[in-house]
Structure 1
Amino acid sequence: MEAFSTYFWLGYAHITDLAAIDHILFLLVLIVRFQPKEWLDILITITLFTIGHSITLIVSALNLFVPSKNWIEFLIPITILLSSINNLISLDKKGGKFTKWIALIFGLIHGFGFSNYYSMLTNSAGNFWSALLPFNLGIEWGQLVVVFIILGVSLLIQNLLNYKHRDWLIFVSGGGFTLSLWMAIQNSPL
């Protein structure tokens, strides 16, 4: 049980660490689309993201397909950039037409990012399978914490500063676009 707890908290720490700002920013841009009353859409979106990144974490960690780390570090900010664009072009459409599909497809890319860290943790210890479930659950718990913080901050800003949801969506998506463009340029493998 101690090993389960260790890998759970390593997964949690990996997603909530500010060094994982790219994953946090992706969740922010993905979730800002929704209002808290759309909790079911949020749950579905996060679940699809989980499915996507779990698939590629396993594929990559088992060495079935291991893309270049440089390309993954470049593509992760591109997922944020494209999610921001989706938010901005679908401002008046409830939930955004492609948000759930974006979560699944871009989750595949993020999973390759998680797998680098996961492989480093488990290769030396030789406990790939026994660590997989707790590590993934830790990432999910961390994501839920991040999502609740995002929703809380969104509610606070919208209510205290009297921002309309549409204005907050534009602000966050514009900021996400700018930051992810900068990260993509910094991480460009070209």
Structure 2
Amino acid sequence: MSDFELYFQLGREHILDIQGYDHILFVVALCALYQMYEWKKVLVLVTAFTVGHSLTLALAVLDIIVVNKSLIEFLIPVTIFITAVTNITKGNQLSNDKNGNLNYFFALAFGLIHGMGFSNYLKSMLGKNSDLLTQLFAFNLGLELGQIIIVLVTLFLAFVVTGVLGRNRRDWNMVVSSAVAGVAIILMIETRFW
């Protein structure tokens, strides 16, 4: 297996790892407002998240920025909680253009924080060879594929619940976002750094 394949696989497995479900929760919270037919909006949303986490992942792995690991581990569930609560407060407005712009901002800004969290994992895996940029690129591509899988599963479940079972879209959002917010509170308590 080449270095590229190895780090691609590490990135995909990292975001899909159920034991590190915080990133899964964040992507689910980002997508909770959307339905399958809004896939273009979700694509832009996930791309904004990818841009954010790719930037800080690269800067942190290259030691251009250094942030307290405990602080980042606390801030990740904070981003999940804020995203989920924002979804809940949107009520019937769900994914209109004004809310969509706020979602894109959250995805980009909170992606910066998640990238620093990814860097803690990636730094522990990197060797001392000179192919750092290839490894970083492959890891990011793996993360992106993992995110797309999470998005597709979330949108499919939304379709089943709202389209097939006929449940209200607002109720889907409220249940998913409330559950994510509840887990985020537990994670914040567990990772508090003071």
TM-score range, shorter chain: over 0.9
Name which of 153, 158, 169 aligns with 1:165.
Answer: 169
Look up the SS of the partner of 2:93 in the other structure.
coil
Give unmatched runs, 5+ long, in structure 2: none
Per-residue Cα deviation, 1:112-149 (whole angstroms, up to 9, x for no partner): 00001111111445532120111110110111011111
1:77-92 equivalences under 5 Å are 77-92=77-92
**Structure-2 residue corresponding to 1:2:** 2
Report the CA distance between 1:92 and its aligned residue: 2.2
**Structure-2 residue corresponding to 1:116:** 120
Name which of 108, 111, 126 aligns with 1:107.
Answer: 111
1:24-103 equivalences under 5 Å are 24-95=24-95, 96-97=99-100, 98-103=102-107
Amino acid at match of 1:139: L
Is 2:147 aligned against 1:147?
Answer: no
TM-score scaled by length of structure 2: 0.93
Report the CA distance between 1:185 and its aligned residue: 0.8
Report the CA distance between 1:105 and its aligned residue: 0.3
**Structure-1 separation of matches of 2:175 and 2:29:** 10
Give unmatched runs, 5+ long, in structure 1: none
**Structure-2 residue corresponding to 1:179:** 183
**Structure-1 separation of matches of 2:138 and 2:175:** 36
1:120-135 equivalences under 5 Å are 120-125=124-129, 127-135=131-139
Amino acid at match of 1:93: Q
Could you tell me the percent identity over the aligned residues? 36
Q: Alignment RMSD, CA only?
A: 1.4
TM-score scaled by length of structure 1: 0.95
Per-residue Cα deviation, 1:7-42 (whole angstroms, up to 9, x for no partner): 111111111111220000001111011111111110
Is 2:19 aligned against 1:15?
Answer: no
Report the CA distance between 1:160 and its aligned residue: 4.3
Amino acid at match of 1:28: V
